[in-house]
Amino acid sequence: MGAPDRVEDLAVLPSLAGIYARQVPSALVGALPAGPLRRDRTVGSLPGVAYRASGVRPDAARLTDFAHLTRAPGSDVLPAGFVHATVFPVAMALMARNDFPLPLAGLVHLRNRWTQRRPLTLASVLGVTTWAEDLRPHRSGTLVDVVSEIRDERDGADGAAVAVDRSTYLARGRFLSGSDRAEGADRTAFTPPVPTGRWRLGADAGRRFAEVSGDWNPIHISAPTARLLGMKGAIAHGMYTASRGLATIRLPEAYAWDVSFAAPVVLPATVAIRVDGTPQDADGARFTGWDPRSGRLHLTATVTAG
């Protein structure tokens, strides 16, 4: 697969606040768009278009705040989670299109895969091309991958992507026309290992990450807004826990990072963690986070060199 031939250039990065204001349920800020693809429960095809944004310059103060919050090393190297957050508005704009076949509100982030050839830094000028692909059935609904190729525009117009960010989302209760709804692998039983550390996350952890990432999804901001969207309470951003986990690992310049999300972290929370190995090992470095009281798995990740 790859980017569609049709590419639309964005003059500026879209506003996440504006996208959420149009997409969250009427209980918060207004009704969902009433297009036909959102009224029925079957799923059509993906739009054959990619969005492209150019000249995106990382913000130094925001980088400092992000590194401090996620415990990442302080330097001019951009953490993968920071780059994901910086270009996330492009992906959100794509998923908010009227012809996108899945409802943006309610999409569940199941997995994120990041690969980079070399570090991006504060001096980098980011260009991003984002598209959706691989619409496929799942026993609970439909999966889709949203892919972003990130370039450093200082490399010139023909420069190859420095990093690729692939996010997998699940739309629960939305099924592909004519698909087998039984597809989807069973989750492997999780036995908590001996922890190597613990995090204590306050009730404001979602709001604090929103301040540095720009992702003000109401499910992360407060218990009342999260409950209106069907959650038990405010939950931590997946990319916050993933980024904080990544910060526990000493990274090579080129690496692949693969994180899978399980049960959400309902705030406030204590998260037990375990870190094993290094990216240079045959199996890579491995990170696991879970609820130490219930034993429920929150996330797993691997980081491999190269």
Angle in degrees, 0-180, between the axes of helices 16-23 and 80-95, rounded to the nearest 10 = 40
Q: What is the pLDDT of residues 256-289, one digit of tens each?
A: 999 999 999 999 999 999 999 999 999 999 999 9
DSSP string computed for 36-87? HHHHSSEE-PPPS-EEEEEEE---HHHHHHHHHHHT---SSBPPHHHHHHHH
Run of H or E including 93: helix 80-95
**Percentage of residues in the chain having pLDDT higher than 90:** 77
DSSP lists the bridge partners of residue 116 as 163, 255
**Which structure tokens are listed for 3?**
């980017």
pLDDT value, residue 59: 96
Q: What is the mean pLDDT of residues 211-216?
A: 93
Return the higher-pLDDT residue of 24 and 188: 188
Q: How high does pLDDT run on average in the chain? A: 91
Question: Would you call 177 exposed, middle or buried from its count of C-beta atoms within 10 A (0-12, 13-18, 19+)?
Answer: exposed
Classified as helix, coil or strand, 247 is: coil
- Name the DSSP letter for residue 212: H
**C-alpha gyration radius of the chain:** 19
**Which structure tokens are listed for 51?**
């969005």
Q: What is the mean pLDDT of residues 229-250?
A: 95
Q: Which domains does the chain have, with CATH numbers?
A: 1-182 (3.10.129.10), 187-306 (3.10.129.10)
pLDDT value, residue 34: 41
Return the sign of the alpha-carbon dihedral for residues 50, 43, 169, 186. Answer: negative
Are the C-beta atoms of residues 31 and 50 closer than 8 Å to each other?
A: no
pLDDT value, residue 40: 52
**Which structure tokens are listed for 291?**
């609820």
Instruction: State how far the Cα of 117 lies from the Cα of 180, in Å rounded to an integer.
Output: 38
Are the C-beta atoms of residues 213 and 243 closer than 8 Å to each other?
A: no
- Among the listed residues 46, 56, 172, 155, the one whose alpha carbon sits nearest the alpha carbon of residue 106: 172
pLDDT value, residue 53: 98
Instruction: State how far the Cα of 203 lies from the Cα of 115, in Å rounded to an integer.
Output: 32
DSSP lists the bridge partners of residue 260 as 111, 300
For the chain, the first-to-last Cα distance in angstroms comes to 22
**Percentage of residues in the chain having pLDDT higher than 70:** 91
Instruction: State how far the Cα of 222 lies from the Cα of 226, in Å rounded to an integer.
Output: 6
